[in-house]
Structure 1
Amino acid sequence: MPSSPAPTSTVRIPDAASFWSDAEVVLAPDDPRPGSWAGGPSVQLVDGTWWLAARLRRPVGEGRGFANVVYRSDDGRRFTEVVRLGKDDFGAESLERPALVHTPEGHWRLYVSCATPGTKHWRVDLVEAGRVEDLATATPRTVLPGSQQQAVKDPVVRHDGRQWHLWASVHPLDDPYATDRMTTEHATSADGVAWTWQGTALAGTPGSWDARGVRFATVVLDGERTWALYDGRGTAAENWEERTGLAVRNGDGRFTAAADGPLLASPHPPGGLRYADAVAVPGGGTRWYYEATRADGAHELRTVLLPH
C-alpha cells in the first residue's frame, strides 16, 4: 500500500440555506408514500466519471431494503444503472446504505449492510472486483460480523494515505424494544478487510436533539481539521427521519458535536435529511448527495453543487 501524507480536503461545511433550495432530484422512490425510499448515497468521482451507490427500499412488510444499486454518470446529475445487488444475494432480510470505495490499487469495493433474518442483528459484507460491473458476481465476505450484543451497519470508509478508517453505527441489542439506539464506532485496518475497533467516535448528547442516537454520514479528512456530518435523532419516534448535524474531530480521534445542531433538515415534516455524502469537484466547489423526506412522506435522493 503506498504511503503518503494525510489528505487536505477542499470540501467545506455546507451552507444550510442553499442545501435544499438549490438541489435537484437524482433518484425518486418507486412508490410515493411513507416507507418508500431512494437514498443512502455513497459517491466516487474517478477519472471524470461519477459512480453512485444507493439503497432502494419499500415499506416494512413489503420488502424493506430490497436492493443496493450502483449507477454511473458523466455529470453527477443524471445517472444510469450499472449493477443491482438484491437482499437475497446476501441472505439478508433487508439492506441499508452501502459504502462504495475505489482503492489505491484501482479495485472497487462495496460494503453492504445486511439484516439477519428474523432478528434485530445487522452485519457488513464486502464484495470486491476490478470493474464496477463485476461486483454483481463477486462473492460476499463478512468483514464486520457484529455479535449477539451488537448490530453493525452503515459504514463510512476512508483511506488517509497510510491506513484505512471506518466509522459504523453500532446498535445495542440488550433491549429488543430499543434497538434503534446507536453510537458511531471507529475502526482501522491495513487492508480495508480486517478491522480493529478503536472506540466510540461520537455518542448522542443527553437532553439534546441527537440524544437517542448518532450515525456518521460522511467524514472529511482534512488533517487536524477533520470533521463529519452525522445523522441524529432524539427519540425512538424519529427513527428513519434523522436530521443532520456537524461534529469535529478532537486530538484523541474522537469527535465533538457542534452545539447548535441540527445543521440540515428537510422542510417537509418531520424533517428527515440524512446520509449526506460529498465529492470535491475539480475546478472548484463540492457536489453533495443526500436522502430527504418529501411532502408525501417518501424519501428521495437529491444533489446540490455548492461553491467553496
Structure 2
Amino acid sequence: MNSGEYTPLVPDLARSTVLAEPPGAGAGYWAGAPSAAEGDNGWIYLAYRLRRPIGQGRGYAVVVARYRDGAPVEPLVTIGKDTMDAESLERPALVRTAEGLWRLYLSCATTGTKHWRIEVLEAKDPADFDPRDRRVVLPGDELTGVKDPVIVHHDGLWHLWASCHPLEVADDADQMVTEYATSVDGLDWTWHGTALGRRDGTWDARGVRVSAVLLSGADVIAAYDGRATAAENFEERTGVAAGSEPGVLAHVGSDPWAESPHQGGGLRYLDVLPTSDGGYRLFYEVTRPDGAHELRTEVRAA
C-alpha cells in the first residue's frame, strides 16, 4: 500500500462537525473516546465517555446515543461510574452481534489502584443496557491493566485490540502497548501477544493505543494514539499502522498523521465506520482552544 491509500482515514478538522460538547470549559473536561456501530433504518449508534478533571470525577459516565446526519445526537442511556463500581470510565466499545444482540464493553478503573479491567453489558436494544447485568470479560491482573478495547467481528471470529498498561512500577503505569486477542463468542478471549508496540526516540515512544481497525482481504489498517512522554498523557495524537495479519501491525511513517492545532495537540480515539457508498464516517476526540476535548465527526470519500 502507498500512503495515499490511508488518506480517507485521516481526520481533517475543516470537514468536521461537533457531536458532543465537554461537560465544562478548560483542561480536564472531555467528551470523546467514541465507539460507533450501524443500526437499523439509517441510525448510527454511539457510545462515548464524559470526563471532569482529576479530583472532580474523572471519567464519570459513558453515554449511549443515536443520531442521523442533520439531526442532534439523541442520548438513550447513561452509565455512571458508580453503577460499575469503578473509580473512572474510559473508552467503551459498542458492537452488534450477527444475531442482533448489542454489547457495550466498558473500561473500568479499579478503585484505589492504577488497575483497569473490561466488563460487558448486553441488551436487545441500545437503550436497555443495565449495569446490574454486567460481567468481567477481561480482568487484567496484578501486573497489567487492560482497557480501551477495539472489537471487530470478521470471518466468523471476534478480534480484539486492547491497551495494556504495566502496573509493577507505579510511575510507569501510563505506558501502554496494544495486545491482540481472539474469541469465538466475543466473551471468552485468548491472547496472542503484542500487535503494536512503542518506538524508542519517536513521537510514540511512551505509549501506543490502537483505536480503530479495518480488515479487508489480506490487508489490516489501524489508527492508533501515541505519545512521547508521560507529560503528554491525555493529549495523544493519531498515527496509522498496517499489516497483513491482525496480530502484527507496523507503524506507517515517522510522524503523527493527525493532531489538533490547539493547546496540547490532542486528537485521539479515532473510530472509523464504513459507509454504504464505500466511504468512511470518522469519529474522534480533539482538543479545542480552551484545552477541553470535544467529540467530532466527518465523512470521507473512499
TM-score, length-scaled by structure 1:
0.93
> Which residue is equivalent to 2:200?
206
**1:81 matched to 2:75:** yes
Shift of residue 285, structure 1, vs aligned partner: 2.2
Query: Distance in 1 between the 2:195 and 2:257 partners?
Result: 19
Tell me the alpha carbon deviations over residues 158-217 of structure 1, each in whole angstroms, 9 at most, x when there is no partner.
Answer: 011211010000000011112000000000001000001010000011111001000001
Q: Is the 8 A contact 2:107 2:119 kept in 1?
A: yes
Tell me the alpha carbon deviations over residues 233-252 of structure 1, each in whole angstroms, 9 at most, x when there is no partner.
Answer: 01000001000000002458
Query: Distance in 2 between the 1:205 and 1:184 partners?
Result: 13
Query: Distance in 2 between the 1:205 and 1:224 partners?
Result: 25
> Which residue is equivalent to 1:3?
none
Which amino acid letter does the alignment assign opposite residue 38 of structure 1?
A
What secondary structure is seen at the aligned counterpart in 1 of 2:172? coil
Q: Is the 8 A contact 1:83 1:136 kept in 2?
A: no
Q: For 2:301, which of 284, 298, 307 is the aligned residue?
A: 307
What secondary structure is seen at the aligned counterpart in 1 of 2:129? helix
Q: For 2:33, which of 32, 37, 40 is the aligned residue?
A: 40
Query: Distance in 2 between the 1:43 and 1:226 partners?
Result: 19
Q: Is the 8 A contact 1:50 1:75 kept in 2?
A: no
Shift of residue 96, structure 1, vs aligned partner: 0.2
Query: Which runs of structure 1 show a deviation greater than 4 angstroms over 4 or more consecutive aligned residues?
Result: 15-18
Which amino acid letter does the alignment assign opposite residue 28 of structure 2?
G
Tell me the alpha carbon deviations over residues 107-166 of structure 1, each in whole angstroms, 9 at most, x when there is no partner.
Answer: 000000000010000000000011112113551100000000000000000011211010
Query: Distance in 1 between the 2:230 and 2:214 partners?
Result: 28
> Which residue is equivalent to 1:25?
18
Q: How does 1:135-154 map to 2 (within 5 A)?
A: 135-136=129-130, 139-154=133-148
Distance 1:153 1:70, change over 3 A: same
Q: How does 1:184-199 map to 2 (within 5 A)?
A: 184-199=178-193
> Which residue is equivalent to 1:50?
44
- Seq. identity, %: 51
> Which residue is equivalent to 2:239?
245
Shift of residue 76, structure 1, vs aligned partner: 7.4
Distance 1:196 1:76, change over 3 A: farther
Distance 1:76 1:90, change over 3 A: farther
- Unaligned runs of at least 5 residues, structure 2: none
> Which residue is equivalent to 1:172?
166
Which amino acid letter does the alignment assign opposite residue 93 of structure 1?
E
Which amino acid letter does the alignment assign opposite residue 201 of structure 1?
A
Query: Distance in 1 between the 2:17 and 2:125 partners?
Result: 29
Query: Distance in 2 between the 1:183 and 1:108 partners?
Result: 28
Query: Distance in 2 between the 1:273 and 1:300 partners?
Result: 10
Query: Distance in 1 between the 2:7 and 2:95 partners?
Result: 23
What secondary structure is seen at the aligned counterpart in 2 of 1:128? strand
Moved more, 68-77 or 52-61: 68-77
Q: How does 1:1-308 map to 2 (within 5 A)?
A: 13-15=6-8, 19-47=12-40, 48-75=42-69, 78-136=72-130, 139-251=133-245, 253-308=247-302
Q: Is the 8 A contact 1:16 1:263 kept in 2?
A: no
Q: Is the 8 A contact 2:212 2:271 kept in 1?
A: yes
Q: Is the 8 A contact 2:83 2:131 kept in 1?
A: no
Distance 1:103 1:34, change over 3 A: same
Query: Distance in 2 between the 1:118 and 1:261 partners?
Result: 36
What secondary structure is seen at the aligned counterpart in 2 of 1:194? coil
How many residues are treated as equivalent by the alignment?
297
What secondary structure is seen at the aligned counterpart in 2 of 1:226? strand
Query: Distance in 1 between the 2:217 and 2:178 partners?
Result: 20
Query: Distance in 2 between the 1:83 and 1:56 partners?
Result: 13
Distance 1:76 1:193, change over 3 A: farther
